[in-house]
Amino acid sequence: MMKGWMSKFKAVFALVVLALVLSGCGEPFLSALQPKGEGAEMIYDLMILSIVIMLFVFVVVIVIYTFVIIKYRQKKQDPDFIPKQTEGNHALETLWTVIPIILLLILAVPTVQYTFALADTSPEVNEEGEEQDSLWVNVTGAQYWWHFEYDGLEVSTSQELYIPTDRRVYLSMSSQDVIHSFWVPSINGKMDVNPTGNTNEMTLLAQEEGVYWGKCAELCGPSHSIMDFKVVAVSPGEFEEWVQDMQQVTGEETPESATAQEGQELFADNCMSCHAIGADPNKIGPNLTNFGDRTKLAGVVDYNKENLVEWIQTKGEEMKPGNHMMDAGYELEDEEAEKIAEYLMGLSPSDITTENAEDSVYKDSDLSSLFPEEEEEEGEQSEDEEDGEESDEEGSSEDEENDEE
């Protein structure tokens, strides 16, 4: 008996230790338990609610179980005693049925409410009841990187999505190859990104400035586990500055150093067929407009010149197996790769970067300067109305003169 008890104790102890060790696995910055956005808070609240319900059920069951074991245990003085049977007790059966239904309703009602709220992509309304301009970003998933195109702003980036805080950002998502899943656990939940023209939509609303890590949450190939990206949340005023800086980039700017200038020519000859600088449409490879502002290479590798040269020369075969750059047909000398690296690391069009996203400087803005077309249309409409009023007045005055004559 003693040996059997010890073996069971060892098994339970091993499971407890294993659970504690596994609970420490994962990345601390990739956690849904530290919500910093509207959607993440909703999901976190549902998690807490479900845990509270489960703990309540667990405690009640354990209390009843303990009470029954102690009170109705077999006694030496009366080994044949059989407790009163409750089979067919309608009151108890009704109770056991009603309680789970009530608990499910407590969990189901907010779940349904939050599901519809998270799926709502209608424009925000200001205090006057007017619809605000919506900031839409077209998100494209690819093996194994993410592309972000700001609709109507002529700005494109890859791997780093810049958004304003305290302002809802709308995402229109698709894939150029296989199914991916867009997930920024600190801001919102997951959303599948599908190929074949299917588009899904979701919103992001970050409440604090900072850099939030995201991952692909759908198995999509050999490098799925390292298909990382970042969401950089800055104050609305800083986001406005960042957009204006990015809009000035054409890809024809001349670098300062002679080495970088040579690298620019080599990049144009060997890389421009797959990569873009500026607001060019999405291509086979990532957009490199603000490559010099990144803190990670390929989303996961330490950002430095040595790793970048290795990436160019090996085409990322070891760093990100299965990526499409492995099919590129260029051949470069190490010196040429270093010149291209020098050029790419100098691509920093804005002072708003991932490193200073949390600078404790909050610049407010209504982002109105980013939507000039609608303002012009409103101005043109008001001018047309004024012209119409003037013509009506002229017509009425002419009619009065004719009547007098």
147-157 pLDDT tens trace: 999 999 999 99
Mean pLDDT calculated for residue range 374-396 = 49
Asked if the model's pLDDT at residue 179 lies above 70, the reply is yes
Whole-Å CA distances, 73 to 58, 70, 78, 81: 22, 6, 10, 9
Mean pLDDT calculated for residue range 266-295 = 88
Task: Show Cβ contacts of residue 132 under 8 Å, excluding neighbours closer than 6 positions.
Answer: 123, 124, 125, 126
Q: Please give the Cα distance from 24 to 292 (Å, whole number).
A: 34
Angle between helices 90-119 and 38-71 (to 10 degrees): 170
Q: Please give the Cα distance from 320 to 80 (Å, whole number).
A: 70
Mean pLDDT calculated for residue range 39-64 = 94
Are the beta carbons of 146 and 140 closer than 8 angstroms? yes
Q: Which of 53-62, 161-170, 378-387 bottoms out in mean pLDDT, i.e. has the lowest?
A: 378-387
Q: Please give the Cα distance from 144 to 7 (Å, whole number).
A: 47
Displacement of CA 161 from its chain's centroid (Å): 8
Asked if the model's pLDDT at residue 35 lies above 60, the reply is yes
Model pLDDT, residue 373: 59
Model pLDDT, residue 188: 94
Mean pLDDT calculated for residue range 173-202 = 93
Domain extents for the chain?
A: 26-78+88-119, 137-363
Displacement of CA 292 from its chain's centroid (Å): 22
Please list the alpha-helical segments (H only) found in 130-217: none
Q: What is the pTM of this model?
A: 0.82
Q: Please give the Cα distance from 339 to 21 (Å, whole number).
A: 46
Q: Collapse the DSSP code of 94 into the 3-class scheme (helix H, G, I; strand E, B; otherwise coil) and give the result.
A: helix
325-338 pLDDT tens trace: 888 888 889 999 99
Are the beta carbons of 168 and 13 closer than 8 angstroms? no
95-142 pLDDT tens trace: 889 999 999 999 999 999 999 999 999 888 777 777 788 899 999 999
388-402 pLDDT tens trace: 555 454 545 445 444
| SS3 per residue for 204-231 | ECECCCEEEEEEECCCCCCCHHHCEEEE
Are the beta carbons of 232 and 206 closer than 8 angstroms? no
Model pLDDT, residue 375: 44
Give domain 137-363's CATH number out of 2.40.50.140, 3.40.980.10, 3.40.50.10470, 2.60.40.420: 2.60.40.420
Share of the chain above pLDDT 90, in %: 54
Tokens of 116: 């519809």
| CATH class name, domain 26-78+88-119 | mainly alpha
Tokens of 292: 């010099």
Model pLDDT, residue 204: 95
First to last CA, the chain: 125
Model pLDDT, residue 89: 78
